[in-house]
Chain A
Amino acid sequence: MGFLQQKQEATAALLDGISVPAGAVWITAIRDAAMARVIENGLPHRRDEYWKYTRPDTLTAQDVIPAAPFEHGEAPMFDDIDRLKVVFVDGIFDADQSDDLEGEGLTIECLSDIVNKDIHWAKELYGQLEANGQTPVQRPLAALNTALAEDGIIIRVTGQVSRPISFFYKHEDENSDAILHHVIKLEEGASLTLLENGPAAARFNKVLEVYVADKAAFNHVRAQGRDHERRAATHIFGRLGTESSFKSFTLTVNGVLTRNECVLELTGDDAIAHVAGACVGDGDFHHDDTVFVTHDAVACESRQVFKKVLRNGATGVFQGKILVKPGAQKTDGYQISQSLLLDEDSQFLAKPELEIYADDVACSHGSTSGAIDEDGLFYLRARGVPKDIATDLMTLAFLAEAVEEIENEALADCILTRLEGWLERRRG
């Protein structure tokens, strides 16, 4: 029996008795097609090329491994930012804790509402980027999400929205298994900032699809929750039009397993895509960034900047690819992934890939793994800064290139405060 057949059988067994949720004809067709993709390709297996470094079994198992919510509760985040707050508890939209779903320059709805409408603009878009993002690399957890998600937020942006939208994911039930699917469509010239934070659930499967039309701008800053035992598999799919921009930053502190995939397609000329991440992990922390950027237009720029601080046996993974299609001339692609290993037990596994079919492009990638910079440490100590504080400052210095990808200073400060808190708590 071949590997694929084995996976298909295992998947069929796992999904036995699970059917797609009820809804209008269009959503049922989308969900059925997604479920067919899952069954055809099988759920991820550790023998899959892109799951070599991260074991998928706890993400695909029928039963959730319980995860205690963080004992001190999730610290407030983005509280000083004027924002439209959308709250989910264990993966279910909570209208009482959320602001009214309305704002200038946008329409915002719940997935659970639109699935019962016979006609909705999202019917052409929901699950489309996810389906498209299954080649050349399969992402079965995302397809499973499209098939099964019952909640999420659907946003259409028509103007310049100055007030960010903030998704706050609370985790209360230690057995929660949450699936959320968001779709954001930015019309021509529109702009939006999306903030996300919180651990969400014991196990969280999230898909975010973002359509960025010509000259539109999407900014995204996310801080994944601090619950130590939580597991998360998230996917961002983005499609960029001419002169559009997409900028996404993720901070991860704690979490026993995190797999963040980001799949971006630059389909219009002069588009810009920046995706960055900083993570700090301690002990049985496993963090995986898997990024795929496709250049399919002229003179586009993409940046991938990922920094990981790992200690006490933590593991970091980076799988990043830049694909430059034929004709995507003047592509400017940059990719860097670095880890700071604070001891010899921690490890960083990196697989940077470039695949280029155009001849007039500038693409670079670099990946390093190292200990703390001794010159910097000595410099600080020679000024009187004690070793533990000097180590923290050098750690922040290491993460700086990623954090500096956040253009908005107030948002960058929110991220830095959380990082400083993490460092401080470990100083003891």
Chain B
Amino acid sequence: MTADARADEENNMLEIKGLKVKLEDEDKQILKGVDLTVGAGKVHAIMGPNGSGKSTLSYVLSGRDGYEVTEGSATLGGEDLLELEAEERAALGLFLAFQYPVEIPGVGNMTFLRTAVNAQRKARGEEEMSAADFLKVIRAKAKTLKIDADMLKRPVNVGFSGGEKKRNEILQMAMLEPKMCILDETDSGLDVDAMKLVSEGVNALRDAGRGFLVITHYQRLLDHIKPDVVHIMADGRIVKTGGPELALEVENNGYADILAEMA
């Protein structure tokens, strides 16, 4: 391992230990002790039936309100994520690709992204990106994702098709260059071509330093984004971990067998 790789390994590792989470306003436990470590450069997939807590995990990691962590920890590169505001987690290098990207009328896509990029840079004590540099970079990245100039100018996600919204998420990921990317059901609502395009966008961002946590219901996304490790989540816990073959098993037999095995 090179010195750089070792540094990435330490800086970029996502470690979740015994994470228990309940809803803030309700006495409902959703995560019941999640243990998960995603190393630098690795792609981990989480599969699981509806209501198993997959999306909650992504929200809790990225700092959404409405949840209460009752036990456990989550760190990125050794920093305690749970102590930070959502925007601080983003500046630290955590990125959540939303299952349902939010429409924000009146705010241009490009303005939004430049605000985000420069807010993160500022938070890290880095120099802000000039308008000209930003334009150059975003145009190049947009092109590979087949995002045209019009989509960059339009208000964030307003009137975008399902595929456009997801491509826009990947564009944001490409511009923000996070350490750890969480993809929450990025394949939902995508046709085959759109899924391919989105997957290519994700694959282009895979490198030795960047980790991925891919949440999905279906194996088909994992045909395009090849995972190193696959986890099965059920009832707020990770119940099984394996290699890519585990995803195929789910695809062929559903979750029932695995869950029965656990019971």
Contacts and interface: CB of A to CB of B under 8 A. Distances in A.
B45 interface: no
A394 B115 CA distance: 13
Contact of A382 (B62, B107, B112, B115): B62
A385 B119 contact: yes
Given A384-B91, A384-B123, A384-B176, A379 B98 contact: yes
Interface in A387-422: 387, 389-390, 393-394, 396-401, 403-404
A380 interface: yes
B87 A384 contact: yes
Contact of A381 (B86, B95, B155): B86
Nearest to B117: A384
Contact of A400 (B89, B106, B120, B176): B106
A397 B112 CA distance: 11
Contacts, number: 85
A374 B116 CA distance: 18
A352 to B, nearest CB: 22
- Residue among B102, B103, B119, B176 facing the most chain A CB atoms (10 A cut-off): B102
Interface in B70-124: 85-87, 89-91, 95-96, 98, 101-107, 112-113, 115-117, 119-120, 123
Interface string A363-393: 0000000000111101111111111011001
Given A384-B90, A396-B107, A376 B119 contact: no
Interface in B144-164: 155
A373 B65 CA distance: 13
Interface residues of A, number: 26
Contacts of A390: 87
A270 B155 CA distance: 31
Contact of A394 (B62, B91, B104, B155): B104
Contact of A384 (B101, B104, B105, B119): B119
B215 to A, nearest CB: 15
Interface in B52-78: 62-65
B120 A384 contact: yes
Nearest to B58: A382
Interface in A221-255: none
Contacts of B90: 381-384
A398 B91 CA distance: 26
Contacts of A374: 65
Contacts of A399: 106
A397 B111 CA distance: 13
A404 B172 CA distance: 25
B87 A379 contact: no
A393 B89 CA distance: 20
B117 to A, nearest CB: 8
In the complex, which range does the number of interface residues on chain B fall in? Answer: 20 to 34
A418 to B, nearest CB: 14
Contacts of A380: 104, 112, 116
A422 to B, nearest CB: 15
Main secondary structure of the interface of A (DSSP, over half): helix
Nearest to B103: A376
B63 A382 contact: yes
A295 to B, nearest CB: 28
Given A384-B91, A384-B176, A379 B104 contact: yes
Nearest to A399: B106
B176 A383 contact: yes
B86 A397 contact: no
Nearest to A403: B106
Contacts of A387: 85, 87
A84 to B, nearest CB: 30
Nearest to A390: B87
A393 B112 contact: yes
Contacts of B115: 385, 389, 393
A383 B65 contact: no
A376 B157 CA distance: 11
- Residue among A382, A386, A399, A404 facing the most chain B CB atoms (10 A cut-off): A382
Given A374-B65, A378-B64, A383 B116 contact: yes
B28 to A, nearest CB: 19
Nearest to B106: A400
Contacts of A400: 105-107, 155
15 contacts: A373-B102, A374-B65, A376-B102, A376-B104, A378-B63, A378-B102, A382-B86, A382-B89, A384-B116, A385-B87, A386-B87, A389-B119, A394-B104, A401-B105, A403-B106
Given A374-B65, A383-B116, 11 more contacts: A378-B63, A379-B102, A380-B116, A381-B63, A382-B89, A382-B96, A384-B90, A384-B119, A384-B176, A389-B115, A397-B104
Interface of B: 62-65, 85-87, 89-91, 95-96, 98, 101-107, 112-113, 115-117, 119-120, 123, 155, 172, 176
The 7 closest A-B pairs by CB, nearest first: A400-B106, A384-B90, A381-B86, A384-B120, A383-B116, A379-B102, A400-B105
